Amino acid sequence: MNLQTTETVQTTTLMSNDSHNNDVTTLTETVKNTLIEYFDQLDGAEPSEIYNMVLKQIEAPLLEVVMQQVSGNQTKAAACLGLNRGTLRKKLRIYGLDNS
């Protein structure tokens, strides 16, 4: 399976968990809705370091799925992600995905 390019990711649709629901949501809409929900749950509390929190929440599963899609081939994963292999290895270590 080939992974989609960055330009098409924004229009990639995710099927709802409800198999009877024909609504589809883009990845962008899913992130936006989740952030809105997050702010609602703060109930007036001041958020901090949201940028880093969101990156960590998205980056780990992104790396995990890409590594699965390329059968653990770091060279292919790095090319797919637009990273150099050293950066990919560092990120895999950070998230405990380096299998070492």
CATH architecture of 49-100: Orthogonal Bundle (1.10)
Chain segment 43-99, per-residue pLDDT in tens: 889 999 999 999 999 999 999 999 999 999 999 999 999 999 999 999 999 999 998
What pTM, to 2 d.p., does this model score?
A: 0.71
- Match 């399976």 to its residue by tokens: 1
Say what percent of the chain tops pLDDT 90: 70
Burial zone of 67 (CB within 10 Å; 0-12 exposed, 13-18 middle, 19+ buried): buried
Q: Where do the structural domains in the chain lie, given as residue ranges?
A: 1-47, 49-100
Q: What pLDDT does residue 2 have?
A: 47
Mean per-residue pLDDT over the chain, rounded? 84
